[in-house]
Amino acid sequence: MKIKFLFHGLLVIGMAFSCKSSQQDKEDEYNSNVMKTVKYPEKGDMLLLTDRPPQLETPLKILRQDFTPNEYFFVRWHLAMIPKVIDAEAFRLEITGPSVNKTISLSLNDLKTKFTPYSIVALAECAGNSRSFFKPRVAGGQWCNGAMGNAKWTGVKVKDILEMAGIKDNAVDVAFDGLDEAPLPSVPDFVKSLGIKHAMDGEVMIAYQMNGKDIPMLNGYPLKLVVPGWFATYWVGALHKIEVLDHPFDGFWMKKAYTIADNPQYNENPKDLAKKTVPVTTLALHSIFVEPEPDTKMAVGKPYDMEGLAFDGGKGITKVDISLDNGSTWTHATLDPELGKYAWRRWRYTWTPAKAGKYTLKVKATNAAGETQAAEQWNRSGYARNVIEQMDVTVN
Ligand SMILES: Nc1nc2c(c(=O)[nH]1)N[C@H]1C(S)=C(S)[C@@H](COP(=O)(O)O)O[C@H]1N2
Ligand SMILES: [Mo]
């Protein structure tokens, strides 16, 4: 019998500087410059946003690799009652609902032996990643850039599983439910949905492995829905039930939470909020600095290896430009090989500063559709950040 436990004992092990530069913090006392680092079961040292439910951020330096190690992959649950014990033999995934021909129940062993395994490299990014950079500041977890991670996911296509249950012609939406529960009846259970066509597209999958290993408990062991190119809010962890519906799904987590201004740039005016909102879906085109970090000191005449990440919802990053003069002129960064169209793409640029002074560096990505990043963006929830980022550095 294989039983996996999570001892939910929080251990604060230290302090780390957050992504905010000291200058920004002087201007803005809402945000502290120091975050606690914590150690949870199966995880390395992570930055703590909240404990119940666990919300843990990946330290920026971990993002200097193609794949985010499972131990450092960010953690984000909404409900305080998260699964702490899973019996891998007793666990079943149920596929049911008014639009399946028959309800089926699959063990982990069934998933691993009765279907053709499928793998994809894809970036999981929380819709609220980088939220702390929005000005004016918005409510919600004050994530820096570490609410994302890139992994190779292995499991079964949702299409193959739904075909085993048999889909009726009247199927409209597919709802995905995790084992986590709300502590109060007034808080809705975490359930997300996809349209039937999307669920059946042959890319949406259920992962039983992440980077070739079991998924850590805190990341949704034993099964996680993977929706390549869509924000991680859809990637339901500890997935145990799939319902195929003959009507549109209208649960709280689709209709009320994770909705955003209905325009391509997810933009609205703080003084005149958008009237119409829609569920946030595909990843926004974005690029960030991983190196340097805020307040880095550089030396005249000494080459400095800059690097970072660029990503979008699957059209693919084709170009990353760097500015060393606050956006007046731009030059190409070098791109690492593509890891997959839904993965992030790493970029590099070596800069040898010629003169002392204060510099504002910028980074801007372009994708295969010719889309590029915006100069400004704001929305009330701090979702889908896609603005051109800047980094202030000092050269001595
Ligand atoms: N069951 C369940 N799945 C969930 C959530 C949740 O609260 N419960 N949160 C979602 C959100 S908003 C994000 S960003 C990702 C985070 O996945 P991770 O904890 O593995 O990083 O899980 C998604 N899947
Ligand atoms: Mo999220």
For 166-193, how does the pLDDT look when each residue is reduced to its tens digit (9 = 90+)?
Answer: 999 999 999 999 999 988 888 999 999 9
Q: Which CATH number fits domain 85-279: 3.30.530.20, 3.90.420.10, 3.40.50.150, 3.40.190.10?
A: 3.90.420.10
- Nearest ligand 1 atom to the CA of 220 is 20
Distance CA 263, CA 278 (A): 9
- Nearest ligand 1 atom to the CA of 225 is 24
Each residue's pLDDT tens digit, 324-346: 999 999 999 999 999 999 999 99
Distance (Å) from CA 18 to ligand 1 centroid:
22
Distance (Å) from CA 290 to ligand 2 centroid:
21
Residue 2 and residue 86 in contact, taking contact as beta carbons nearer than 8 Å: no
What sign does the dihedral 57-58-59-60 (CA atoms) show? negative
Distance CA 363, CA 377 (A): 16
Buried b (16+ CB within 10 A) or exposed e, 342-370: bbbbbbebebebeeeeebebbbbbbbeee
Whole-structure pTM over 0.85, yes or no?
Answer: yes
180 lines ligand 1 (CB under 6 A): yes
Distance CA 320, CA 372 (A): 10
Distance (Å) from CA 75 to ligand 1 centroid:
7
Q: Where are the domains of the chain?
A: 3-76, 85-279, 286-395
Average pLDDT across the chain, whole number: 93
Distance (Å) from CA 326 to ligand 2 centroid:
31
Q: Is the pLDDT of residue 29 over 50?
A: no
What sign does the dihedral 158-161-164-167 (CA atoms) show? negative
So what's the pLDDT on residue 197? 98
Q: CB-based contacts of 122: which residues, under 8 Å, 6+ apart?
A: 150, 151, 153, 226, 228, 229, 340, 342, 343
237 lines ligand 1 (CB under 6 A): yes
Distance (Å) from CA 316 to ligand 1 centroid:
24
What is the phi/psi pair of residue 217, to 5°?
Answer: -50, -45
Residue 319 and residue 366 in contact, taking contact as beta carbons nearer than 8 Å: yes
Each residue's pLDDT tens digit, 335-389: 999 999 999 999 999 999 999 999 999 999 999 999 999 999 999 999 999 999 9
Pick the closest to residue 210 from 149, 158, 160, 161 (CA basis): 149
So what's the pLDDT on residue 159? 98
Half-sphere exposure of 23 (CA within 13 A, CB side): 7
Candidate of 236, 240, 259, 260 to mutate for ligand 1, largest count of ligand atoms within 8 Å of Cβ: 236
So what's the pLDDT on residue 7? 63
Residue 355 and residue 395 in contact, taking contact as beta carbons nearer than 8 Å: yes
- Nearest ligand 1 atom to the CA of 238 is 1
What average pLDDT does range 300-308 have in this prediction? 97
Secondary structure (3-state) at 105: strand
Lookup: tokens for 58: 């990946």
So what's the pLDDT on residue 18? 75
Q: What number does CATH give the domain 286-395? A: 2.60.40.650
Q: How confident is the model at residue 24 (pLDDT cuts 50, 70, 90)?
A: low
Buried b (16+ CB within 10 A) or exposed e, 193-226: bbebebbbeebbbbbbbbbeebbbbbbbbbbbbb
Each residue's pLDDT tens digit, 291-301: 999 888 999 99
The three-state DSSP-derived secondary structure of 247-283 is CCCCCHHHHCCCEEECCCCCCCECCECCCCEEECCEC
Q: Is the pLDDT of residue 21 over 70?
A: no
Candidate of 43, 81, 235, 253 to mutate for ligand 1, largest count of ligand atoms within 8 Å of Cβ: 235
Distance (Å) from CA 190 to ligand 2 centroid:
12
Q: For residue 151, which ligand has an atom nearest its CA? A: 1
What average pLDDT does range 74-100 have in this prediction? 96
74 lines ligand 1 (CB under 6 A): yes
Distance CA 361, CA 229 (A): 28
126 lines ligand 1 (CB under 6 A): yes
